[in-house]
Structure formats: structure tokens, C-alpha cells
Amino acid sequence: MKLLLSLLLTLAASAQVRHEDVAQSPGTDWLTYAGSYNGWRYSPLSQINAATAKNIVPKWVYHVPGARGLRSSPLVYQGVLYITSGNSIHAVDARSGRLVWQYADPRAKEAGPNRGAAIWADKVYFTTSDNYLTALNRHTGAVIFSKKFADVEKGTTSTSAPVIAKGKVIVGSAGGDGGMRGFVMALSADTGAELWKAYTVPAKGEKGAETWGNLLEWGGGAAWLSGTYDPELNTLFWTTGNPWPDYNGSVRMGDNLYTCSLLALDLDTGKMKWYFQFTPHDTHDWDAQSWPILVDTEINGLPRKAVLHANRNGFFYALDRVTGEFLRATQLIDKITWAKGIDDKGRPLMLPNSEPTPQGNWVCPSVKGATNWMGQSYNPGTGLLYVLTLEQCGMYYRSSQEPQPMKNFSGGGATEEGGQVILRAFDPKTGKRVWEYPMTGLGRMWTGTVSTAGNVLFSGDDDGHFVALDAKTGKNLWHFNIGETLGASPITYSVDGKQYVAIASASAVYSFGLFEPASGVEAPVIQFKTN
Amino acid sequence: MRALFPLAILALPLLAQHGRYLSDSNNPAIGDPVAIAAGTKLFMGSCAGCHGPDGGGGARGPNLVRRSLWHPLSDDAIFQVVRKGVPGTDMPPTKLADDQTWNLVAFIHSLTGPASSNPVPGDPAVGKAVFWGAKAGCGNCHAIRGQGGSMGPDLSNVGGSRPLAVIREGIVEPAKDLYYLGNEAATVVFKNGQTLRGVAKNRSNYSIQLVDTTGVLHLLQMNDVKSLTLSASTPMPTDFATRLSKAELRDLLAYLAAQDTRAADAKGSPQ
């Protein structure tokens, strides 16, 4: 114990988060939204494993003041856990759950959710809903800078966790359902200054503009989920959202590039290396916001640097991440009524009568999609990719009302009914399902997964349980009823040689670990001194 | 034991009130220097007798700034109070025209709203030199945008989050009641003989989260602690009312009023 303590003291004094640290993450810490640049949400920790999972108990709960629908996945560095809520960030002792500091920006002009923080050198970063990148001293919470990077007046808000690579803070843009022009941006980690900005919808006259009508300027293509990064290729992989107006495609004839796509961007310049569009001319609000997961594996018998992507439109894609070449698509879910498959170029083979109509059209998957932004996990040990899927259909309506940007009008609407969440394990080599874990609930969750070298897969379920499954077989090992809708993805970390698994519920952060008999704490000797 | 608990509660209304000033009323008088000046005049004539010339309280009426900490009112609610009075108390109704009443509301808003959103006398550039100079030594304990010490609260957004009168009180009457858990100067002696000094950002009977004098965070468990010594009063020096001249204090306040994380990009704040 003594030894550990002095260790902790010296470590804390010297530590700065460097590029190498994030590139090697996660170890005992969890340094970026998905745990690692490749988007795996996988941890080498194995103290909690398929054999010991039966001894998992809650260690602490931190109630985030005022929080109602947390979407945030925490970061952990040097024993401190950082969790964001709308326009606020909280630093919590990762062993005890005690608050260290918090920072709130109550004057923000929007009150949206927030998906998480980023950490670099000795600063933690998060964005406010109205597009300020705020950097704080990680020890004290003191403000280093707070810099506006986009105008909320132009329909853009911010919800995603920044990703930091080589001193560049990559942020995206939300708001695509109300008319805006999506972008991905790089800001300096030292000053917040803009380094580059890559629009996801071309400007008039640019290549790709011919795939639109007149709504180019408000075309959407929001980038509201963080992306992944390949240090070797120096390439960012970022997904884009739906074209606007969402449900009325007649006013924007064409493919509507680069919406519902995956973009490969050069980290240094923001230049697009390639793009791949999953859903050309989308009319079902099927944003491509789910993780582009970077895996080197064999596909169709050839070794590939692949990027895997489970899309909201119902298909599970594999692309070559060097060239953007389409390699394969399989069905993510069973019920798909709008396309009968994906052709060998990667375009959907459309089925008739799938468009939204004034009376409503019944289409599968529903507007929520076959999956969504829920954190997926790739486990190199089992070689499986874990995806929360939703078997659900819904009604899609179209209105021909003249679309006006930022009037909260999306050219129609959609409702979803019933449905079931099923956690599925896929083999990236074949694109086929290996096992599945059906859940009870109302299809309302947005929670995700984390998997470990201990062969455990942690996930939230659709009625408020936190569960541990055997990562090889999908067999349930343990569950805990949190009793609130889960809308964020779990992480795992270790302090003092003890492994923890943490997840945000709607209102609080829960941290779990293995059972240990309690040892009483002596009443501290406290003196008060007048200075 | 000092009254830590009630003071912790004070922090809540402070937080709650920030949101209020921006989203409240669209009346053009709010934030308008001409309206505020007209309101000041009216206030001097009809209200200062009870509430004091700066709303700081008098024999027959409460300090309006402090009151807003525990009874925050929207602009519309202030309008109604001024018009109808507070029945059953000395606060009388008035018969002023709407625009006159709004001028008064604008003045009260300027007293109780964040310092950065109101005109403040003094020279921020001179105040900056006072803040970072040796005589006051504020920067030894407080940080602004990454510069300065960590023994006191970060002041990067003090103008964007506190009324001017509250900032002034924090400087000249620090012991008054702004002393709450999270700012205790602490010395920890460990069972292994090591010693650590700093600020306890939080503590319980089981753990303590301490930022040391060099600004480094330590997460400690009380089982490792032999003894803990805490400052019995605020670590913030209590003699600034006399140590600084009137002009120095005024300029210092102008500098602090300009510290606003949101104004910086629009106007460029003196740093």
C-alpha cells in the first residue's frame, strides 16, 4: 500500500498525455472516446474475466447534477474519471467516485446532450452545445481557453467527443435535421485556433454539387459522432449524416454527396482521400453515424486493411481503408424491406415503394436504424465485432411543404413501433453472425459495449440492466439492474491494480469492480489552524 | 466546525442565476446603457432611501444583490415587484409608466447580472497590472486562462458568472461567507512520514482529493493519512480593503469584470 501510494504521487506529477499514449490506449487508462484510435472499445485488462465476472459488485455511483439523459462515455487518466453532460464536465476520483472539480457553462445557447471529453498533454477538452471548444487544466479544472468554432445561428450544434491526434483536436457538427452544412474541423490543442475545415457537402460549382438541387447550402451531412484514426495512413475516418430535408427527396434529386457516407480525410490538411456513400439519396434519416472500425483481417480470402461499418440502413459493410474500395456487405438485421441487397459496387439494390408518402409508408428498418451510434466493440482475441442491432420497422411520412432551414422542419416525419434490440457478434472475415443475445425492452436504449482480454463483453440492455456476457459465446455471466434507460457506452480502467468497469446511466455514472471484503477506515485526525 | 454546509448551499443559487440573465426578457431596456442610466436616476430618487445607493442595502430595505442569490427573479418578476410592491412589507407599489419601470428593471439587472454584461468603471489594463503585481499577488493563488496559481478558484470566468458587487465582496470581505468546501488549505501528513500541502478540492472521512502547491492533483485515501491540518478561515488574504488603494481596487474590479470565457472571442478580453 505504501509503495503504491508514493508511486501514485510521483506518476501524477510527471504525467502528460502524449500522442504515443493515446495511440497505445487503452491500458489502465481510457484516453479517447472509443478507447483507441481504431475504434475498438477493447481493453487488454483481464482481472474481471469470464471466470471472475460472477463477483462483480458496484463500487461507487456519481450522480451528475441535473443530468437526465446522459450520452457520455467517460475518459480515465491517472485515477481521474472525466464525464460530460450538456454544457458541463465533471472530474471524479475513479476509485471513490468523489467529485474533484466540475465546470459548467450555463450561458450556452443550446442545451443538447454531450458524448464525451478528450484529453491531451495536461488538458481535458469538451465542446458546448453551441460550439465552444473548452480546454481545462486536468488537475484543477481551471479554464485554459474556450474558443467558438462554429455559429449556432447557422444551425450547427455540437454533441460529439473531440478526437485528438498529433495535437489536432477534431470536432464535428450536429444539427443536420434542421438544415445546415455539415463539416469536420481541426483545431489546435494548444490554442483552439482553426487549422482546417472540411465540409461534408460541396459548395456550388465544386465536384459533387451536381448531385443536389438548390438546397446545397443547407444540405445537412452532419458529422455528429466522433470518428477513428489510422496513424500509419495518417487518415481520419469520419461518418456523415442524412441529407436535408430528411424525408422529402423530391427537392434534392441526385445522390446528395457526401451525406450518409464514410469520409477518409488527411489528418494534416483535411483533404478528402476517398469517400464511400452507403445510402445515396437517403429519405429515411439513415445517418451513417456508427463506428468506422479499423481492422486488419482477411476478407474474401485476401488480407486487407479494412474498415468495418454497421450501417443504420440495415447492412454491414467492409471496405478497404487505404483505397475506399467496397469489399462486401451482409445483412445486419433480418427485416430489410427497402433494398434486396448491395451490388458489387456497393450500391443498394432498391425495392419499389419504399419512399416516405403523405399517408405514411411502412419500411424496415425504422428511422432509428438497424443500429446507430451505440459503441460497438471489436475483440482481437475472439476476432468478433459486437453490434447492438434493432429489429424494428416504422412509418415514414412526407410533407411537400416548402423546406425552410432551421425551422425544425425535416420534410416529413417518422414513427417507430415495437421492435427488439439484439446484441449480435459478427465475424469480420465473413460478415456473418456468430451468436446473438436478444433483449427485452421497448427499443429505447442507446447504450453500447466494451470488450476485454478477459473474454468479457459488457453492454447495457434495453431495460436498464448492465450485463456481462461471455465474449466467445454470448452466454450471460452477470447482470445488475441500474433501473434507468441506458444511453451511453461503458468503458473499463484500472487503478492500483484493480479493474473497474464504468457506465453512465441517464443520470449517474456507475463504477463496478470485483468484490473485496471491506476494511474499516479509522476516524481521521483533523486539526484546524488559523492562518 | 465552521459553517461549511450553509455556504455550500450558497453556491447553488449562484449557479442557478447565471442562466437567468440571458434567456429572460427581450425588453430592449435590458443591457441598454441609456436605460440603465435612466434607471439609476430613478433608483436614487425613489428606492435608494431604503435599498442604499448601490442596492447594497439600507435601514429599511434589503441588499438587492445578496437577495438575488437566494431569491433570483426573472426580469418580468422584478417588473411586477416594482409595480405592485411586496404586500405586507415596507416595499411599496409604484405608479411609474411601463418604460420607466423597465428602466428600473434594467438597473437592477445590471446590479445582479454578471459583471461582464454591464458597464463597469475603471481601467482594466491598470487592473491587470495590479492583479499580477507583487503588492496584491492575486496571481500567486488564482489562475486566469492558464496563467497563475491554483490555491484559489480559477477566475477565468469570474466576470461572466458573478455580479460586480459579489466579486468586490470576494476581495474586500472574503471571510464574509463565500468560504466553502473545495477551497480549504490543507496539510496532509502520511503514515509513512511524507507531507503534502495544497488545497483540498474535496474530502470525506474516506478519501481526499488534493491539489498541491505546484498545481498537481493527488487522490488520497484516508487510511494512508496520519493527520490532516486545515485552515480554519479562508486562505484568501483579508486585508485587501486596506492594502489596495481605492483606484487600484476599482481598476482591479474592471479587469476581473472583463474575465468572461464567452466574451473573449467576441471582444478580446485584456489578459
Chain centre distance of CA A187:
20
Of all residues in chain A, the one with the smallest CA distance to B1 is A528
| Domain span at A352 | 2-514
Q: Determine the Cα–Cα distance for residues B246 and B172; give it in Å rounded to an integer.
A: 11
pLDDT reading at B3 higher than 50: no
How many domains does chain A contain in total? 1
Tell me: pLDDT of B12 over 80. no
Same domain, B190 and B258: no
Q: Which of A130, A285, A462, A470 is catalytic?
A: A285
- A284-316 pLDDT, tens digit per residue, is 999 999 999 999 999 989 999 999 999 999 999
- Residues B30 and B155 reside in one and the same domain: no
Nearest to A104 among B15, B223, B265 (CB): B15
Cell numbers for B261 = 470565457
Q: With CB atoms and an 8 Å threshold, state whether B229 touches A98.
A: no
pLDDT at residue B15 in the model? 35
User: How close A203 comes to chain B (CA, Å)?
Assistant: 27
Picking from A139, A142, A528, the nearest residue to B232 by CB comes out as A528
A105 vs chain B: nearest CA distance in angstroms?
9
Touching check for A2 and chain B: CB below 8 Å?
Answer: yes
Q: Which residues in chain A have Cβ-Cβ distances shorter than 8 Å to B145?
A: 143-145
Chain A residue closest in CA terms to B229: A527
Which pLDDT band, with edges at 50, 70 and 90, does B23 fall under? very low
Q: Specify the CATH number for the domain of residue B195.
A: 2.30.30.100
Please, which residues have CB within 8 angstroms of residue A205's CB and are 6 or more apart in sequence? Answer: none
Q: What is the pLDDT of residues A162-194, one digit of tens each?
A: 999 999 999 999 998 888 999 999 999 999 999
Alpha-carbon distance of B200 to B219, in angstroms, equals 10
User: Would you call A4 an interface residue with chain B, using a CB distance cutoff of 8 Å?
Assistant: no
Q: Chains A and B: how many Cβ contacts under 8 Å?
A: 148
Question: In whole angstroms, what is the distance from residue A325 CA to residue A193 CA?
Answer: 34
pLDDT tens-digit map of A198-213: 999 999 999 999 999 8
Residue of B12, B14, B213, B217 best to disrupt the A interface, most CBs of A under 10 A: B217
Q: How far apart are CA A378 and CA A396, in angstroms?
A: 33
Distance CA A449, CA A250 (A): 38
**CA-closest candidate to residue A282, choices A217, A204, A350, A203:** A350
- Produce one character per residue of A275-313: b if its CB has 16 or more CB atoms within 10 Å, e if not: bbbbbbbbbbbbbbbbbbbbbebebeeeebbbbbbbbbb
- For residues A502 and A493, the answer to whether their CB atoms sit within 8 Å is yes
Stretch 9-48 of chain B: residues touching chain A, C-beta under 8 Å: 15, 18-19, 22
For residue A213, the model assigns a pLDDT of 83
Answer whether residue A520 is part of any domain.
no
Residues B164 and B260 in one domain: yes
Q: Does B139 touch chain A (CB under 8 A)?
A: no
Residue type present at position A187: L
Could B192 and A6 be called an inter-chain contact, meaning their C-beta atoms sit closer than 8 Å?
yes
Q: Please check the confidence at residue B123 and state whether its pLDDT lies above 50.
A: yes
Among residues B193, B161, B194, which one has the least CA distance to residue B178?
B161
Contact A180, A110 (CB under 8 A): no
| A96–B157 C-beta distance less than 8 A | no
Question: Chain B contacts of A1, Cβ < 8 Å?
Answer: 223-224
Task: Give CA–CA dist A190/A167, Å, rounded.
Answer: 8
For residue A438, the model assigns a pLDDT of 97
Do B219 and A8 make contact, defined as CB atoms within 8 angstroms? yes
- B-chain CB neighbours of A12 within 8 Å are 216-219
The whole domain housing B129 covers 124-177+237-266
* Three-class secondary structure of residue A370 per DSSP: coil
Give a yes or no: residue B248 inside a domain. Answer: yes
Task: Say which DSSP state A2 is in.
Answer: H
φ/ψ of A217, rounded to 5, equals -65, -25
Low-confidence winner among A69-83, A356-370, A374-388, B171-185 (lowest mean pLDDT): B171-185
B159 and B221, same domain (yes or no): no
Residue B98 pLDDT? 96
Interface test with B, best of A100, A126, A153, A530 (most B CBs within 10 A): A100
Contact flag A525-B228 (C-beta cutoff 8 Å):
yes
Asked if the Cβ–Cβ distance from A530 to B231 is below 8 Å, we say yes
HSE-CB for A93 with a 13 A CA cutoff: 25
Q: How many domains does chain B have?
A: 3
Assigned domain for A334 exists: yes
Asked if the Cβ–Cβ distance from B265 to A527 is below 8 Å, we say no
The pLDDT value given to residue B36: 93
Least confident among B26-30, B97-101, B205-209: B26-30
Q: B65 and B198, same structural domain?
A: no
Report whether A446 contacts A36 (CB < 8 A): no
CB–CB of B143 and A142 under 8 A?
yes
Question: What DSSP assignment string belongs to A62-87?
Answer: EEPTT-SS--PPPEEETTEEEEEETT
Task: Residue B195: list chain A partners with CB under 8 A.
Answer: none
| CATH number of the domain within which A87 lies | 2.140.10.10
Confidence of residue B107 (pLDDT cuts 50, 70, 90): very high
B28 and B76 housed in the same domain: yes
Tell me whether residues B232 and A530 touch, CB distance under 8 A.
Answer: yes
Q: Is B214 on the interface with A (CB under 8 A)?
A: yes
| Local confidence band at B267 (pLDDT 50, 70, 90 cut-offs) | very low
Let me know whether B61 and B160 are in one domain. no
Do B46 and B139 have their domain in common?
no
Cell triple for A331: 445483412
Position A530 confidence tier, pLDDT thresholds 50, 70, 90: confident
In whole angstroms, how large is the CA radius of gyration of chain A? Answer: 22
CB contact under 8 A, B205 and A93: no
**Residue B118 clears pLDDT 50, i.e. is over it:** yes
- Is A530 within a domain? no
A255 is catalytic: no
pLDDT digits (tens, 9 = 90+) for A11-64: 444 589 999 999 998 999 999 999 999 999 999 999 999 999 999 999 999 999
Q: Is B180 a residue whose pLDDT tops 70?
A: no
Average pLDDT over residues A419-437: 97
Of B6 and A207, the one with more pLDDT:
A207
Nearest to B145 among A100, A138, A144 (CB): A144
To the nearest whole Å, the CA of B96 is away from the closest chain A CA by 32
Specify if A6 maps to a domain.
yes
Q: What is the pLDDT of residue A208?
A: 95
Last residue in a domain, options B89, B113, B137: B113
Q: Is residue B44 part of a domain?
A: yes
Q: Report the chain B residue with the minimal C-alpha distance to residue A98.
A: B202
> Chain B residue with minimal CA distance to A104?
B15
CATH of the domain at B85: 1.10.760.10
What's the pLDDT band for A401 if we cut at 50, 70, 90? Answer: confident
The model's pLDDT over B210-266, given as tens digits with 9 standing for 90+, comes to 999 999 999 999 999 999 999 888 889 999 999 999 999 999 999 999 999 998 554
B2 in a domain, yes or no?
Answer: no
* Chain B residue nearest residue A143, CA to CA: B145
Concatenate the DSSP letters of all residues of A387-442 into one string: EEEEEEEEEEEE--SPP-TTSS--SEEEEEEEEEEEEEEEETTTTEEEEEEE--S-
Q: Which residue has the cell 422584478?
A: B78
Mean pLDDT across chain A, nearest whole number?
A: 94
Give yes or no: residues B149 and B96 share one domain: no
In the numeric block, which cell numbers belong to residue A112? Answer: 443538447
Q: Which residue has the cell 456481462?
A: A468
State whether residue A99 sits within 8 Å of chain B by CB. yes
CA A50-A53-A59 angle, 5° bins: 150
**Around A318, how many Cα atoms within 13 Å sit in the side-chain half-sphere?**
23
Would B1 be classed as within a structural domain? no
B268 CB near a chain A CB, below 8 Å? Answer: no
For A395, list phi and psi in degrees, rounded to 5: -95, 140
Residue A521 in domain: no
Question: How far is residue B147's CA from residue B136's CA, in Å, rounded to a whole number?
Answer: 16
Question: Of the given ranges (A323-337, A423-437, B7-21), which has the lowest mean pLDDT?
Answer: B7-21
pLDDT at B207: 95
What is the mean pLDDT of the segment spanning A399-408? 83
User: Is A10 near chain B, with CB under 8 Å?
Assistant: no
A35, part of any domain = yes
Residue keyed to cell 465485432? A385
Interval B23-48 mean pLDDT: 88
Mean pLDDT of B163-174: 91
pLDDT of B14 over the 80 cut: no
Q: What is the pLDDT of residues A271-284, one digit of tens each?
A: 999 999 999 999 99
Nearest to A145 among B145, B228, B229 (CB): B145
> Residue A7 above 60 pLDDT?
no
Same domain, B257 and B168: yes
Give pLDDT, residue B17: 32
CB < 8 Å to A134, chain B: 261
Q: What is the pLDDT of residue B24?
A: 61
Same domain membership, residue B102 and residue B87: yes
Asked whether residue A250 carries a pLDDT value surpassing 50, the answer given is yes
User: What percent of chain B is predicted at pLDDT more than 90?
Assistant: 69
What confidence score (pLDDT) does residue B179 get? 52
- Range with lowest mean pLDDT among A2-16, A125-139, B204-218: A2-16
Residue B10 has pLDDT above 60, yes or no: no
Any domain includes B255: yes
Over pLDDT 70: what percentage of chain B?
86
What average pLDDT does the segment B59-72 reach? 89
B149-154 contacts: CB < 8 A, separation 24 or more? B149/B215, B150/A137, B150/A139, B150/A140, B150/A142, B150/B199, B150/B211, B150/B215, B151/B185, B151/B198, B151/B199, B151/B213, B151/B235, B152/B183, B152/B199, B152/B235, B152/B236, B153/B183, B154/A137, B154/A140, B154/A141, B154/A142, B154/A143
B200 touches chain A (CB under 8 A): no
Is A3 touching B (CB cutoff 8 A)? no
pLDDT tens, residue by residue, B43-62: 999 999 999 988 989 989 99
Interchain proximity B15–A101, CB inside 8 Å: no
Closest CB to B261 among A6, A146, A519: A146
**Nearest chain A Cα to B150, which residue?**
A140
Chain A residues with beta carbon closer than 8 angstroms to that of B233: 530-531
User: Using an 8 Å Cβ cutoff, are A363 and A396 in contact?
Assistant: yes
pLDDT score recorded for residue B79? 95
Confidence category of residue B117, pLDDT binned at 50, 70, 90: confident
Pairing of the two strands A261-266 and A272-277:
antiparallel
- Given a cut of 60, whether residue B5 has pLDDT beyond it is no
B92/chain A closest Cα distance in angstroms: 33
Residue A522 lies in a domain: no
* ipTM (interface pTM): 0.90
Side by side, which strands form the sheet with A498-504? A56-63, A508-514, A498-504, A491-495
Find the CB nearest B231 among A1, A519, A531.
Answer: A531
Residues of A in contact with B262 (CB under 8 A): 105, 107, 132, 146
In a domain, A31, yes or no: yes
From the list A96, A140, A143, which residue is nearest B150 (CB)? A140
Q: At residue A355, does pLDDT exceed 70?
A: yes
User: What's the rounded Cα separation, in Å, for the pair A149 and A139?
Assistant: 25
Angle ∠(B216,B222,B227) on CA atoms, nearest 5 = 90
Give A391: exposed, middle or buried? Use CB within 10 Å, 0-12, 13-18, 19+: buried
Quick check: bond before A245 cis, omega within 30?
yes
Q: What is the pLDDT of residue A9?
A: 45
Q: Average per-residue pLDDT in chain B? A: 86
Clarify whether residues B72 and B172 are in a common domain. no
